[in-house]
Amino acid sequence: MYHLARYNGLCGNKICIPMKSGNHALAHHEPEAENSTKPTIERSPRAVTILEQIGTITQHRDVALLDKSIVASLTELTKVPHIQLLVIEARDADYKAAPVAWSEDGDIRFQPDLTEDDFLPLSHYPLLTLALEKQETVQGSLNPNSLPTDLQRYCDPIFLKGIPVACLNIDSQGKLGPQQVEVVTGMLAVYRNYLSLLEDSQKDTLTGLSNRKTFDYTVSRLLSACNKDCLEDGTQAGRRYLCAPENWLCVVDIDHFKRVNDRFGHLFGDEVLILIANIMRQSFRQQDRLFRFGGEEFVILLRNIAPDDAALTIDRFRQNVQSHAFPGGVGQVTVSVGYSLIRNYDIPSTVLGQADEALYFAKEHGRNQVHCYETLSDQGLLHKKEMNSDVELF
């Protein structure tokens, strides 16, 4: 007969877990003495508040809401009225930054859908430039001539895997107190670790683009936003509702990709996927969303762009791929693209299916082409699918 003993780290009580061996009887666990006292954990109201804010931050599965939440939590915990979170991205071989969430007049504001115009070179943020160079928090005076009510800015850069991704600016009258600094440091550690988890779960491992898992959520959020600001187009017998400005969904497929894998091997096939993902980043704008659906298929969400500009942008990407010299003897690679307009009250599967139809048309008519679902449909080259009225539901 033997038993396994382990300890409860919270109260220090020894717990015996009896284990039966052969025909021996089970050991009995002796009850605690009636007069034994258990230590209690005292939690201050401040500690409870911090735990509640951590719970609020980590309930989100969307990076934009996480950004808003960290600003709201730090505003509540530090009582500092002016806090700003900047996102940092590499654009045109240099880093640029844009405000994504900030506190203003007691309210928390954020803009989750940033555009190219929102991003400014780091020369507009000298304190941020210094913080990135030192890779540590820096402090500077925003109005050094107004002592003793000097407005101080704390600039805290946030890195993921050695790459700057964000920066927290805190503007305070005078220096922050030790407890405020401790809270900011701890909460930013939570934010950074949770952001890393979200990024890993939402990114394709090979290319770094967003993965299939995030597509439905991204399109659904876009459609929800369109519902708040849409234009009714009554020019056709069947009413349709269009987002203003227009958004488009593109499906990209690499032509004869199987031949690349068969002839050069999967390592070169992976290299082709990585390079095409890089060409996508260079060909499209900051506000566009890029996804890898798996295999050789990619999806692009073009946002706030007119029809003619969308067509030019997509075809420019096709030409960029065609003109790129792929290494390892692979040489030229081409892509076929089908795209469709995103209408209000569409569901992701509907618009994806329409873009797929345009893609199949491109594949069947020579590849290395770009086709729009609406154009093909208006020309009578595609047949709209209709529901079978003979289906019995009950």
pLDDT of residue 227: 60
Q: Which residues pair with 340 in a beta bridge?
A: 249
d(CA 277, CA 280): 5
pLDDT number for residue 212: 87
Q: Exposed, middle or buried by CB within 10 Å (0-12, 13-18, 19+), for 309? A: middle
Which of 257, 342, 346 is CA-nearest to residue 298?
A: 257
User: Which domains does the chain show, CATH number per domain?
Assistant: 1-41 (no CATH), 45-202 (3.30.450.40), 212-378 (3.30.70.270)
What is the spatial distance between Cα 369 and Cα 384, in angstroms, rounded to a whole number?
21
Q: Please determine, for residue 224, whether its predicted confidence score (pLDDT) is greater than 80.
A: no
Residue 231 has pLDDT above 80, yes or no: no
Distance CA 110, CA 53 (A): 18
Tens of pLDDT along 55-93?
878 887 778 889 999 999 999 999 998 999 999 988 766
How confident is the prediction for the chain on average, in pLDDT?
A: 81
Q: Is the predicted pLDDT of residue 4 greater than 60, yes or no?
A: no
* pLDDT value of residue 354: 95
pLDDT tens digits along 348-383: 888 999 999 999 999 999 999 999 999 999 999 986
pLDDT for 156 beyond 80: yes
Residue 379: CB atoms within 10 A of its CB come to 8
State how far the alpha carbon of 213 is from the alpha carbons of 12, 72, 113, 219, in Å. 44, 27, 19, 11
For position 61, what pLDDT does the model report? 76
pLDDT digits (tens, 9 = 90+) for 187-217: 999 999 999 998 888 899 999 999 988 887 7
Of 20-34, 85-99, 223-237, 253-267, the range with the lowest mean pLDDT is 20-34
Q: pTM of the prediction?
A: 0.72
**Cβ neighbours of residue 150 under 8 Å, at least 6 residues apart?**
141, 143, 144, 173, 174
Query: Where would I find the beta strands (DSSP E) of 24-122?
Result: 82-91, 94-104, 107-110, 120-121
Q: CA 101 to CA 391: how far, in whole Å?
A: 51
